[in-house]
A and B are shown apart, each in its own frame.
Chain A
Amino acid sequence: MSETVTPESDVAPLRKRFLDNPRPALLWLVGALALLVLELGRILGWVKALGTGVKFAVMTTAALPKWVGGNVESAVADTGVLPGRLEPVGELLGSGVVTVLVFGFVVSVFLSLSERRVTRLLRPNMPSYRRLTVERALLTGILTVVSALMVLTPIGGLVESMIGFLTAVLDNISNQAPTLTSREIIPNQGYRSPDGSGWEGTFLGLSPGQSWGVRVAVVYAYAFGWLVWLWRGYNVFREQYRAADWTPRDDTLDRFSGHLWGLFGLVVVFSFVVLALWAPAISTVPLEERSNEPYRFEHQFLDDEDIEGNPLTDGSGDLETVRHGQANLYSVSKGKGQNVGLFSYDDFDRFSPLGTTPSGGDMMTQLAHGARTSLIIALTGLGLATLIALVMALLTAYYKGLVDLLTVVTSDTIVSIPLFLLVMMLSVIFSGSDHPLVTPLDGGLLLAMVFAFAFWPGLWRAIRGPTLQIAEEDWIDAAKSYGQTPSKIMRKHMAPYVVSYTMIYASLLVGSTIIVTAALSFLGLGISEPTPEWGRLISSGQDYITTDSWHVSTVSGIMIVFVVTGFNALGDGIRDAIDPESDIGDGDAAAAGGGG
């Protein structure tokens, strides 16, 4: 046995393989950087938005101790023992305990990710489990002291102003940075020049419609460029740097690239995601200007019609300025002659590729931003649901017994309440309160959390079987006998085999979340104004379906059908590509939306 070379030793680490032959990777990297710089402003904007989301999560967690402390305080007050003295103690105790718990959790997660231990320098011979406990206690203590200092002394204010300064710098960069698809580079809001020679203020003097088309084409070309470049990068990795000539994933990709239906789904989902990400560039007029605060922003147009509406042919029209809000009143789509249809201009020369809404907004703008809403809700809700389902599946498969039984009963309870009614009830009841979770996206975040609550049992059920099978494998026993901690066994030896399963199941649910979100806002629940939502568009155009303004409900409905079909097709494609024999999600009407 000693002559044979172990497989590890004849494969150089990725770092070495890269250093031996850096050219292809560097070439690819240069291309990727060029793409990045072209849209730097917008990408920094996304980073900023992500940062806002993280900040919100942190702030909500930070508000937890105070909230619990307040509750404990009032509970202590209710008991009536030693009035006026025990309450502050209870408040401090409650908030302190929660603070320590939160920090303890953060520290445990952090420590489980890294192998480095500070105490190893001081006491190298400590057993590893005790070292872990000591480190957890130590770090939690440090964090608690630091946060107490931040709250109780002026250091907190200092740190806050520093963060504010950094944010302002980032803001500045993202505003200054070049953005290929920005309105400044390809403007489409212009007016006809009074001398009749064309358009002023638009891209190359094209009409607003044409320049809008150019911008949308650039957006999609740019996004497609990224897609091609990423695929190329994967190929570069596969041909130049990957140690193995063949892996099962190659077959999966081959099968997928021959799956026409799945490719159709990929195209639709890609277009949808681009629509959502570049919503501000794809909208003809920024959402806040035309719909959210229409009386703050002005629009210039050439008034060359006399009072009866006949065009003045002598070129005597003059430039007028109107507020979007006023202009919207004349550009509503309400049937009976009041209509701005597909690919048309309203009286103020504002171009609407998909017509206007019954309140005079631009359909394309509303649809693009509505796509954004749907995508954020679906990703947040299903991401949370996947996380819960995965953790529960690992725990129940590893420990079995009572944990498993309790989870079965809990999930059976949630599943036996009709999904749509459950989501409806929870979103109505919680949106009535003025909880801070209701504000983001006008109820969108709340809806995402309701989805997470309603969808995790189904996901958990779907992966429970496979996870149980993996927990029975020999390598789990081996790891146990080595003395590995349960959390590490679950993470390293079980999770990798079920993560992809969970994600496939979750991707089958994207269609349902889109439909249920739209159905709720159609009924006037879930997401309130002004956050745009497709369901609300359909409901606003409901009375005009059989009039000239048929486009409002019809176009938005077709969009939903299209996108949901796309997600279903992509799900079918991925499923067939990963395992042609499997029947994941077959037949239970994955995207029927629970009756939405």
Chain B
Amino acid sequence: MGRWRYFLQRVLLSIPVLFLVITFLFVVLRLGPVDPVAARLGPQASGADVAAVEERLGLNDPLWEQYIRFASDLLQFEGQSWVVQADRGIPAVLADTAPPTLWLGFWAILLPLFIGLPLGFYAGLNPNSSRDYISSGLGILWLAMPNFWLASMLAAFLASTASGGPLGFEWHTFGPNIQSVQGTPSLNFVTLSSIGPVPFPTGLDLGGFARDTKKILPPAIVLGSASMAAEQRIGRTAVLENINSKYVETAKAKGVKGRKIITKHVFRNALIPLIPVITNEAFLLIGGSVIVEELFTINGLGRTFFQSIIQGDLPLAGSLLFVFTLLLIVLNIFQDLLYTIIDPRVGYDQ
């Protein structure tokens, strides 16, 4: 029972953490130096307006009432945006901005898996060869390249292909035609209809799908760059560890063929340490989405958060940060669950 108890402890511990996050946000946003009235009306607001807004936002209520309202707003995803999408409800804003971010995140996880992992496995299978050095060197460089720099270089480079560049073709018209590297993918390639409350896809527009994929590829490569490097590195180490282990030798002694040893024994066991890496990617993706979405002008969660924070839109910024944090807490619990199921060693020492 040890490990399940450990898992339960982790889940229970996340409840006070959630409330502490809410309290922290309240303290920083409400009691911090940002003046909500000035953010709402601008610095030159007059007395009567200020009083009216203070009354409407409930700033004159006792602090504990404000805190309870703040917490319940966050937990129920209620409240209104002040500036960025003025007077729209938070759920509506979330519904608009989440799909592009999810689409970006999906590709940013998928691409590293299909580029970083094979590179790492390849390097691990040919250790200390020149191929290994090239692959590992690429990984090290990927890791050190800041997303914002990579994004601006890539965006500028792809935009420059319009007037002929080193690629020899124009990126915008190559394959599915897109107007610009910048902009939000439309994501209307799926036609949805619903039976009762459950939506299900009824049709798929392949052209639209290709367009949206092509549009999201450059930002997704940038966003996935750090994870790609991490996966390359871990894939290499994992293969190296497994290829020198006893059971591989046993399999060799039994006369199992080389290819089969690698696919059946080495790769499978090398995948275990990759679970935390892939879940950890969520951290990198959420932070990176702000930069990448801002640079490729994708109206997703990250860009909206950035806009709301620089324009003093406190409810929206607070709600978005809360959503991100909630997502991370859930992902952490999910990761613990995976560990509890897959790796029996977890928690026994506790």
A residues engaging B (CB < 8 A)? 408-410, 412-413, 416-422, 424-426, 428-430, 432-433, 435, 511, 515, 518-519, 522-525, 535, 538-539, 542, 545-546, 553-554, 557, 560-562, 564-565, 568-569, 586-589, 591-596
Whether B339 is near chain A, meaning CB under 8 Å from some CB there, is no
Question: In whole Å, how far is A165's beta carbon from the nearest beta carbon of chain B?
Answer: 38
Pair B287/A596 contact, Cβ less than 8 Å? yes
Pair B33/A430 contact, Cβ less than 8 Å? yes
Q: Which residues of A contact B276 (CB under 8 A)?
A: 587-588
In the complex, what residue of chain A is closest to B225 when comparing beta carbons? Answer: A592
Could you say which of A523, A554, A565 contacts B291, with CB atoms under 8 Å apart? A523
In the complex, what residue of chain A is closest to B163 when comparing beta carbons? Answer: A546
Main DSSP-derived SS at the B contact region: helix
Which B290-346 residues have a C-beta within 8 angstroms of A?
290-291, 294, 305-306, 309-310, 312, 317, 321, 324-325, 328-329, 332
Pair A525/B310 contact, Cβ less than 8 Å? yes
User: How many B residues are at the interface, by size bracket?
Assistant: 35 or more
Pair A426/B287 contact, Cβ less than 8 Å? no
CB-CB under 8 A for A430 and B148, given A417-B321, A565-B141, A589-B230: no
Which B1-51 residues have a C-beta within 8 angstroms of A?
13-14, 16-17, 20-21, 24, 28-29, 32-34
In the complex, what residue of chain B is closest to A261 when comparing beta carbons? Answer: B140
Inter-chain CA distance A420–B283, complex, in Å, is 9
What are the 3 tightest A-B residue pairs by CB atom distance, in nearest-first order?
A595-B287, A420-B287, A433-B33
Q: Which residues of B contact A418 (CB under 8 A)?
A: 283, 286-287, 321, 324-325, 328
Could you say which of B143, B230, B283 contacts A568, with CB atoms under 8 Å apart? B143
Question: In whole Å, how far is A508's beta carbon from the nearest beta carbon of chain B?
Answer: 12
Could you say which of A515, A538, A589, A591 contacts B152, with CB atoms under 8 Å apart? A538
Main DSSP-derived SS at the A contact region: helix
In the complex, what residue of chain B is closest to A563 when comparing beta carbons? Answer: B144
CB-CB under 8 A for A409 and B13, given A432-B34, A545-B152: yes
20 sample A-B contacts, Cβ–Cβ < 8 Å, listed by A number: A409-B20, A413-B17, A416-B325, A417-B328, A418-B286, A421-B286, A429-B33, A430-B33, A523-B148, A554-B153, A557-B146, A557-B149, A564-B146, A568-B143, A587-B277, A592-B226, A595-B285, A595-B287, A595-B288, A596-B146
Q: Which residues of A contact B85 (CB under 8 A)?
A: none
Question: In whole Å, how far is B321's beta carbon from the nearest beta carbon of chain A?
Answer: 6
Q: Which residues of A contact B283 (CB under 8 A)?
A: 418-419, 594-595
Q: Tally of A-B residue pairs with Cβ under 8 A?
A: 182
Q: Which residues of A contact B288 (CB under 8 A)?
A: 420, 595-596
Question: In whole Å, how far is A176's beta carbon from the nearest beta carbon of chain B?
Answer: 43
Pair B324/A421 contact, Cβ less than 8 Å? yes
Could you say which of A408, A435, A519, A545 contacts B146, with CB atoms under 8 Å apart? A519
Pair B144/A565 contact, Cβ less than 8 Å? yes
Q: Which residues of A contact B21 (CB under 8 A)?
A: 413, 416-417
Could you say which of B29, B230, B234, B290 contacts A592, with CB atoms under 8 Å apart? B230
Could you say which of A408, A421, A535, A592 contacts B148, with CB atoms under 8 Å apart? A535
Could you say which of A416, A425, A525 contacts B28, with CB atoms under 8 Å apart? A425
Stretch in B52-60, B154-162, B196-204 with 4+ CB within 8 Å of A: B154-162
CB-CB under 8 A for A518 and B148, given A426-B28, A435-B33, A595-B289: yes
Could you say which of A408, A546, A561, A594 contacts B145, with CB atoms under 8 Å apart? A561
Q: Which residues of B contact A594 (CB under 8 A)?
A: 283-284, 287
Inter-chain CA distance A446–B283, complex, in Å, is 24
